């Protein structure tokens, strides 16, 4: 059997399986993300039925999937909403870094991996998965919730921080001179500022490039611009996700509304590829020795991320149920964590970092969509209500005294 035929058979069989898994997830009322990951593990390296011809296809598809998830998030919000959210969440961004990066750094030092590995593991535990969270918010119908702009602000701050963190980490890993590292960082800063300026100041001009009532040209144009900006951003060590998100922010009015409708099917297809490829590229056997430390790290940083979201929503004036929704939905880590681990391992820093990061991300990315549903559970709502009633009663007694 020639390679092209095998590619068609593998891709077709896997996409059909994903369709059935998605239907199963809908039927039992959960997000399909964990099922996609399990499918990837089953068909990946060391899995039950390894795929050989289609891995490169799914790798490219997974990159496009993350980009489409982020541009679609950007299309949901205007530039003014982005600026307002960043201003209100800048303190939450600081808390986010302290609460979630420090546990990773401390954990690496306890394991005896050294300071550079500590910087890498700090990044792995710090940044939530924009791709996973974007899909969870859409699956749960929460894009219009009051806490969602706060969640997106935290994600954007993290992604923008990666524009500065990744060049610094790369410099540490390769032992580059201070001048070379500063040059790389300066280029990343200039690119982010330039994209932000174009998105915020000239968004309407960019929108006029496209015809909202011409589906073909709009689809090709928006998709092309998104991939172009994402690729350029990645080339200069800025996150492709940041570039894609800002393209979505730059588009407005009817162009943005029409683009959402046209890109939605493509997003669903390529987002599924992202989660499957993550499983495909993981050897289940390498995860077993690091399950216990990964589980400890996951428990600690899931708790700190819930606290991060709760505090961010509280500062934004969101009610208690919305604070818990913001906290639980932020728990999944994903694409950035794997990129950071890959950089560290390729530089020969610590060979156990890759399987630990993989196990850690798998745990949080499976737990994240499940935990995100907890605030909607009747028992949790009742517990929150009882706690609120008790607090109000205590306050009334205190005032009366």
Distance CA 34, CA 361 (A): 12
Look at residue 368 and tell me if it is in a domain: yes
Question: 46 pLDDT band (50/70/90 cuts)?
Answer: low
Question: The domain that contains 299 carries what CATH number?
Answer: 1.20.1530.20
Question: Which has the closest alpha carbon to 139: 36, 231, 42, 8?
Answer: 36
pLDDT number for residue 325: 94
Residue 36, domain member (yes or no) = no
pLDDT band at 48 (very low <50, low <70, confident <90, very high): low
Specify the length of the chain in residues. Answer: 401
Backbone dihedral angles phi then psi of residue 268, each to the nearest 5 degrees:
-60, -40
- pLDDT averaged over every residue in the chain: 82
Q: What percent of the chain has pLDDT over 90?
A: 18
Place of tokens 């995860």: 287
Q: Does the pLDDT value for residue 178 go beyond 60? A: no
- Whether residue 99 has pLDDT greater than 90: yes
pTM above 0.75, yes or no: no
Q: What integer pLDDT is reported at residue 305 of this predicted model?
A: 96
Most confident of 39-43, 104-108, 163-167, 196-200: 104-108
Per-residue pLDDT reduced to its tens digit, 241-285: 777 877 887 787 788 888 888 888 888 888 888 778 777 777 777
Q: What is the pLDDT of residues 196-207, one digit of tens each?
A: 677 677 777 777
Closest by alpha carbon to 136, among 38, 41, 32?
32
Write the pLDDT tens digit of every residue in 362-381.
889 888 888 999 998 888 88
Residue 106's pLDDT band, with cuts at 50, 70 and 90, is: very high
pLDDT above 90 (res 101): yes
Split at pLDDT 50, 70, 90, the class of 159 is: confident
Q: CA triplet 66, 69, 74: central angle to 5 degrees? A: 125
Is 167 a member of any domain? yes
- The answer to whether position 39 is within a domain reads no
Q: Quick one: average pLDDT of 320-329?
A: 93
Distance CA 309, CA 288 (A): 31
**How far apart are the C-alpha atoms of 337 and 194, rounded to whole Å?**
26
φ and ψ at residue 313, rounded to 5 degrees = -70, -35
Q: Residue 55 domain-assigned?
A: no
Contact of 291 with 363, CB cutoff 8 Å: no
Residues 6+ apart with CB under 8 A from 87: none
- Dihedral sign for Cα 215, 219, 220, 221, please: positive
On the question of pLDDT at 66 being above 70, the answer is yes
pLDDT at 238 over 70: no
Q: What is the pLDDT of residue 401?
A: 61
Do 224 and 263 contact (CB within 8 A), yes or no?
no
Q: Is 285 inside a domain boundary?
A: no
Q: Distance (Å, rounded) from C-alpha 324 to C-alpha 305?
A: 11
- Please indicate, yes or no, if residue 92 is contained in any of the structural domains: yes
- Which of 81-95, 324-338, 339-353 reaches the highest mean pLDDT? 324-338
Element (H, E) at 127: none
- Give the SS3 label for residue 113: coil
Instruction: Read off the pLDDT of residues 204-237 as tens digits, 9 standing for 90 and up.
Output: 777 778 887 888 888 999 899 989 988 887 777 6
Cα–Cα distance for residue pair 316/202, rounded to 1 Å: 28
In a domain? residue 56: no
CA distances, 166 to each of 138, 212, 339, 350, 385 (Å): 29, 37, 9, 17, 43
Q: How many domains does the chain have?
A: 1
Domain with 162 in it: 68-271+290-393
Confidence class for position 80, pLDDT limits 50, 70, 90: low
The neighbour count for residue 225, using CB atoms within 10 Å, is 18
Q: What's the pLDDT at 184?
A: 65
Read off the pLDDT of each residue in 116-145 and give the average, rounded to a whole number.
Answer: 87
């Amino acid at each position: 059997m020639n390679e092209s035929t095998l590619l068609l058979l593998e891709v077709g069989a896997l996409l059909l399986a994903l369709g059935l898994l998605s239907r199963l997830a809908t039927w039992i009322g959960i997000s399909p993300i964990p099922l996609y990951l399990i499918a990837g593990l089953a068909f990946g390296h060391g899995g039950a039925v390894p795929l050989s011809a289609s891995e490169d296809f799914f790798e490219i598809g997974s990159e496009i999937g993350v980009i489409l998830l982020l541009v679609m998030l950007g299309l949901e919000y205007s530039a003014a909403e982005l600026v307002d959210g960043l201003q209100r969440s800048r303190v939450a961004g600081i808390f986010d870094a302290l609460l979630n990066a420090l546990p990773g750094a401390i954990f690496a030092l306890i394991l005896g991996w050294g300071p550079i590995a500590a910087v890498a593991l700090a990044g792995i535990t710090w940044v939530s998965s924009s791709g996973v969270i974007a899909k969870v918010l859409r699956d749960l119908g929460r894009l219009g919730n009051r806490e969602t702009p706060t969640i997106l602000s935290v994600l954007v701050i993290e992604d923008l921080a990666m524009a500065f963190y990744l060049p610094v980490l790369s410099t540490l890993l390769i032992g580059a001179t201070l001048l070379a590292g500063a040059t790389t960082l300066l280029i990343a800063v200039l690119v982010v500022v330039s994209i932000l300026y174009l998105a915020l100041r000239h968004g309407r001009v960019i929108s006029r490039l496209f015809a909202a009532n011409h589906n073909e040209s709009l689809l090709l144009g928006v998709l092309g611009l998104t991939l172009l900006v994402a690729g350029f951003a990645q080339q200069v060590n800025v996150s492709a996700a940041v570039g894609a998100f800002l393209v979505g922010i730059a588009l407005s009015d009817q162009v943005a509304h029409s683009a959402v409708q046209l890109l939605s099917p493509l997003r669903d297809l390529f987002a599924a590829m992202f989660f499957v490829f993550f499983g495909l590229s993981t050897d289940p056997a390498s995860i077993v020795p690091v399950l216990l430390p990964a589980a400890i790290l996951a428990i600690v940083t899931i708790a700190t991320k819930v606290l991060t979201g709760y505090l961010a929503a509280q500062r934004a004036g969101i009610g208690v149920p919305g604070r818990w929704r913001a906290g639980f939905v932020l728990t999944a880590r994903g694409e950035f964590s794997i990129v950071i681990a890959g950089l560290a391992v390729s530089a020969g820093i610590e060979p156990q970092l890759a399987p630990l990061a993989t196990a850690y991300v798998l745990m949080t990315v499976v737990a994240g969509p499940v935990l995100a549903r907890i605030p909607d559970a009747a028992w949790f709502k009742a517990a929150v209500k009882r706690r609120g009633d008790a607090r109000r009663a205590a306050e009334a007694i205190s005032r009366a005294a």
